[in-house]
Structure 1
Amino acid sequence: MNNLRHTLSPLPRSNLQRGFTLIELIVVIVILGILGGYVFSYVGFGAQIYVDTTAREQLMSQSRFAVERLTREIRNAVPRSVRVAADNSCIEFMPILASSQYLQVPRQGPSASDPLLVIEPRADQGVNLIGQYLLIYASTPNFIYNPTQTERRKIIDAIVSTGDDHVVEIAYTDSISYFTGNSPAQRYFIGGQPISWCYQQATGQLWRYTGYGLNANASTLAQLQRALTTSAEVMAENLTNDLTLTTPERPFIVDDATLVRNSLVHLDLRFARAADTERLQLLQEVHVPNVP
């Protein structure tokens, strides 16, 4: 009997298995929740920084591409061909396809019927002269774009001179055969179809237009959008220039050339992301040599 009592006696208190109480579990859950909130907040903050940084880099990349592309095209424009539309929305210019010197040019008077003999452009320029514009001493935009001028001709044929592979006789269609101007350096330019870069404030986009032909006045954005033969492509987005202000934030300004300096083009393009009030302003000055 004594042995049985000894066998059924309770175990010592130190050997009992203990669990967590409900209060302890709640406290642990609350602490883990607080720690988890801080961890996720930190991770989310880092992710937001990455997203913002990526968006800024993308905005800067596309803005720099547009400015660099426009700068290079303006630098290759025919002298005195750069102009801005009346509504300040577009900048227009005629690109240089080739250039060289002439040997003989028909002038008003006894030489009016002489052929136009020029030195052939470099072979690496690879320009088909037929259908392009020939310009000799076109010292104002009016001489370049106005259809009634006598400094620009449309080339219909180019014949290599007999006995000299580098001399070309150029034929063109016009009721007046002679040129009124004479370049001091006997230089001529071959120009292509005009190009316009336009800012559309309603959409914040920068457009590039080609194929619309020559007009006496610089074409506005509305006119280019209505032109049936125009080719258009978006070059940049997220622009914020405000043209409705008392002092408009004009994206394009042209200072015409004078006797003491070249033509100077000012580019002022302002960008901002839709979800951010921070603005990126790119200012660029482009010099266009005055060598007609």
Structure 2
Amino acid sequence: MDLASKTINPRSGIRISRRPQQGFTLIELIIVITLTGIVASMISTITSHQMAAYIDMSARANLVNLAEASLRRISRDLHNAVPNSVRVSGSSLEFVPVAAAGRYRSAPSATAGSNYLDISTLDDSFQVLGNLTQPASGSRLVIYNFGWVDGSGPVAGSNLYGSVSSGTLSPAGSHVISPSGNDITVTDNGVNDLVTLDSAFQFSFNSPNKRFFVINGAASYVCDTGLGQINRYAGYGIQSSQPTNGAVAPLSSAASSALLVDHVESCSFSYAPGTTERKGIVTIMLTLIDNGERVRLINQVHVSNRS
């Protein structure tokens, strides 16, 4: 049966055959679907690789930012540490932050009412060359901390982590740091404020630059690879032995503790003490890891130990 329809052109009288329109055949449809699938698969493979590369790059960039921010924070703290107060033990770094500082009058002055610090004997007051804000309760004074150590630990009377002098290097009972509990009072004395200790005390050495430092305890960065963290502890009492465990005192009872960075795979600290001609150097190696991405940064911090 012929399904074609016929019409007659009224003008020409010619018969015109019209066949119904035909679509894709089944074979053509299969070919189109197959080709479309191949092209889509190729595009998906290319874009998935690009997306994976972008995600990996973003993860590495984030780890680098975390590591750099952590190293900058540690560097700032070390630059504000009491001279010769840095000490390390593997994955732990300890130092004594400076809360305030100034210069003291070290010799008599013709000015009426002048008061100087006499290192040769017990003394309980001295004038500051300038002004000083009243320190927080429990603060201590440090003058000319040598930071000397020997085989048995901090040398008495010359290292703020040690005990008072036995009389070998400096007068017996003297020290580079005022005793705990010997509170400091600052009196506004016009141009030169007056610092007074509750009890008279003898400092071990006279600072060549006549500098003193006010401190409120020690601070530590402790790396815990088990938890994948570096934590900062501050405001705890000065110890003769360096504390390295954040889970026990004095670090566990420190006045403040905070997470510095996580995703830590490994970290280490080393310290090369300086000399009178050369600054000390703290080397920090930090490796962070996240979802298989790993970055390792090394930073060296120059520590000025001039007192």
| TM-score, scaled to structure 2 | 0.76
Contact conserved, 1:98 with 1:127, CA < 8 A, in 2?
no
Runs (4+) of structure 1 exceeding 6 A deviation are none
**Does residue 133 of the first structure (1) align with residue 132 of the second (2)?**
no
**Residue 33 (structure 1) aligns with:** 37
SS of 2:184's equivalent in the other structure is strand
1:234 lines up with 2:259 in the alignment: yes
Give the 3-state SS of the residue equivalent to 2:292 in structure 1: coil
Structure 1 unaligned spans of 5+: 1-5, 242-249
Q: Do the aligned residues in 2 keep the contact of 1:160 with 1:166 (CA within 8 Å)? A: no
**Match among 276, 281, 285 for residue 268 of structure 1:** 285
SS of alignment partner, residue 48 of structure 2: helix
Quote the residue 1:93 is aligned against: 95
Match of 1:105 in 2: 117
What residue ranges of structure 2 are gaps of 5+ in the alignment? 1-5, 8-14, 106-115, 149-153, 166-174
Change (3 A) 1:181 1:70: same
CA shift at 1:83, angstroms? 0.3
Q: Residue type matched to 1:255 in 2?
A: A
State the shift of 1:121 in Å.
5.9
Measured against aligned partners, the alpha-carbon deviations of 1:38-69 in whole angstroms (never above 9, x if no partner) come to 22233323322332222122111111100001
Matched, 1:290 2:298: no
- Output the CA distance in 2 between the equivalents of 1:268 and 1:25: 62
**Alpha-carbon distance change, 237 to 255 in structure 1, aligned in 2, over 3 angstroms:** same
Write the mapping of 1:57-206 to structure 2, written as runs, cut at 5 A: 57-85=61-89, 88-103=90-105, 104-108=116-120, 111-112=121-122, 114-119=123-128, 122=131, 128-140=135-147, 142=154, 143-148=159-164, 150-153=175-178, 154=180, 155-160=182-187, 164-173=190-199, 177-206=201-230
2:225 partner letter: Q
1:253 to 270, 274, 287: 270
CA deviations on 1:186-238 (whole Å, 9 max, x unpaired) are: 21111222111111112322111123321111111355577442332221122
Q: What is the Cα-based RMSD across aligned positions, in Å?
A: 2.8
Q: Is the 8 A contact 1:135 1:189 kept in 2?
A: yes
Report the 3-state secondary structure (helix = DSSP H, G, I; strand = E; otherwise coil) of the residue aligned with 1:17.
Answer: coil
**Tell me, what secondary structure is at the counterpart of 1:181?**
coil
